[in-house]
């Protein structure tokens, strides 16, 4: 990593609400001189700085700026429109490299077991409820597993969602074994013919190795009741935590097989580049994005719409 990049990464001076494209345009990049002479080294540096400040992370930033540089040398990026379109296309390509299956997994035979994992407060339980609602609307029959037995009030939180959404819930005792709750939930889903089991888990810091082992065990035990389960393990990340989301993602992926990402709280940041950074680093697609606190504020991830929104 160049020193220049390290320095730039530390130096985040932009208002969080300003759009990325506005910030790219703001300084030297798109003034008249640049348009006449083409994109020069200073403009590339500016672009680099803006992408880092928007949480793209170093690898994705270098990839994008190198692509822009190459294209500019061919004399192609001479207008604002050309640069914007080029960046959009490259962004969609980058996101596509992490996997094209953006749909929620579906087991060959029901039920499909989905596990939600992530650090404290990222949006796991809210996402569980929002997924339940989506699936029910599609005609699936959902069963919730309240497997956060750790945090006070977590079981009640899932029960409250279950009542509100009118879906069944399997819960154990506070302080009980989360793996046993998921096992029982899968069992109950098989018994009553539910098509999806959505399992909440306790928030845990990626630095707590005992708790990371615990969540790995939850996944293993689900597979003991139903071969192939969990069919989907979604890692929830909070977009407002910036590059720390990347560290979390790496650690969780090392502990258990993460099949998809949910980036929550994208409504609270204009630095959505973290979506690109994590999916690229992990090689795992972003499947959903959280755009608010309400039960409908979860959207299936659409790379083209995302790139468009980011560069608006
Ligand atoms: N603005 C916004 N807020 C969100 C989003 N997703 C979740 N939240 C809020 O974030 C807070 C935490 O959400 P939870 O779903 O309880 O998070 P959690 O990961 O289950 O938390 P723990 O169980 O404590 O680890 C709540 O106040 C949610 O309303 C989102 O996409 N946008
Ligand atoms: Mg929770």
Q: Where are the domains of the chain?
A: 3-97, 112-301
Q: Look at domain 112-301 and name its CATH class.
A: alpha beta
Ligand 1 lined by 154 (C-beta under 6 Å): yes
- What average pLDDT does this structure show over 213-218? 96
- pLDDT, residue 40, reads 74
Q: Is the pLDDT of residue 247 over 80?
A: yes
Ligand 1 lined by 123 (C-beta under 6 Å): yes
Ligand 1 centroid, distance to 2 Cα (angstroms): 36
- Which DSSP helix (H) or strand (E) runs through 175? none
Mean model confidence pLDDT for the chain? 86
Q: Could you give the count of Cα atoms lying within 13 Å of 295 in the half-sphere of its Cβ?
A: 13
Q: Is the pLDDT of residue 4 over 60?
A: no
- pLDDT, residue 126, reads 97
Q: Would the CATH topology of 3-97 be identical to that of 112-301?
A: no
Rg of the chain over all Cα atoms, to the nearest angstrom: 21
- What average pLDDT does this structure show over 63-67? 91
Which of 17, 117, 123, 201 has most ligand 1 atoms within 8 Å of CB, for mutation?
Answer: 123
Please name the CATH architecture into which domain 3-97 falls. Answer: Up-down Bundle (1.20)
Q: Is the pLDDT of residue 74 over 50?
A: yes
Ligand 1 lined by 151 (C-beta under 6 Å): yes
- Lowest-pLDDT range of 116-130, 187-201, 281-295: 281-295
- pLDDT, residue 95, reads 87
Q: What are the residues whose beta carbon lies below 5 Å from ligand 2 (ion)?
A: 124-125
- What average pLDDT does this structure show over 174-187? 97
Ligand 1 lined by 44 (C-beta under 6 Å): no
268-277 b/e with 16+ CB inside 10 Å = b? bbbbbbbbbb
Name the burial class of residue 287, with classes exposed (0-12), middle (13-18) and buried (19+) by CB atoms within 10 angstroms of its CB: buried
Q: How many CB atoms lie within 10 A of CB 292?
A: 16
Q: Whose CA is nearest to atom 24 of ligand 1?
A: 121
Ligand 2 centroid, distance to 26 Cα (angstroms): 40
- pLDDT, residue 196, reads 98
Ligand 1 centroid, distance to 228 Cα (angstroms): 28
Ligand 1 centroid, distance to 72 Cα (angstroms): 42
The contacts of residue 301 (CB under 8 Å, 6+ apart) are 102, 263, 275, 285, 286, 287, 288, 289
């Amino acid at each position: 990593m160049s020193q220049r990049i390290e320095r730039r990464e530390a130096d985040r001076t932009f208002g969080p609400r300003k759009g990325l494209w506005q910030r790219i345009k703001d300084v030297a990049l798109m003034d008249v001189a640049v348009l006449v002479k083409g994109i020069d080294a200073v403009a590339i540096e500016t672009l680099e700085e803006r992408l880092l400040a928007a949480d793209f992370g170093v690898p994705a930033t270098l990839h994008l700026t190198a692509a822009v540089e190459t294209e500019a040398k061919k004399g192609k990026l001479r207008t604002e429109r050309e640069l914007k379109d080029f960046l959009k296309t490259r962004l969609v390509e980058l996101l596509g490299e992490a996997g094209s299956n953006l749909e929620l997994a579906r087991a060959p035979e029901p039920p499909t077991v989905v596990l939600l994992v992530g650090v404290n407060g990222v949006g796991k339980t809210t996402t569980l409820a929002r997924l339940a609602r989506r699936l029910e609307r599609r005609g699936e029959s959902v069963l919730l597993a309240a497997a956060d037995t750790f945090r006070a009030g977590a079981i009640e939180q899932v029960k409250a969602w279950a009542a509100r959404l009118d879906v069944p819930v399997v819960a154990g005792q506070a302080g009980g074994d989360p793996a046993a709750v998921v096992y029982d939930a899968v069992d109950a889903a098989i018994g009553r013919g539910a098509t999806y089991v959505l399992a909440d888990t306790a928030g845990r810091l990626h630095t707590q190795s005992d708790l990371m082992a615990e969540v790995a065990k939850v996944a293993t035990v689900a597979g003991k009741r139903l071969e192939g389960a969990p069919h989907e393990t979604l890692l929830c990340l909070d977009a407002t935590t910036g590059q720390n989301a990347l560290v979390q993602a790496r650690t969780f992926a090392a502990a258990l097989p993460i099949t998809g990402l949910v980036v929550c709280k994208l409504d609270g940041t204009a630095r959505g580049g973290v979506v690109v950074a994590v999916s690229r680093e992990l090689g795992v697609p972003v499947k959903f994005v959280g755009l608010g606190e309400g039960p409908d504020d979860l959207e299936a991830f659409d790379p083209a719409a995302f790139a468009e929104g980011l560069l608006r």
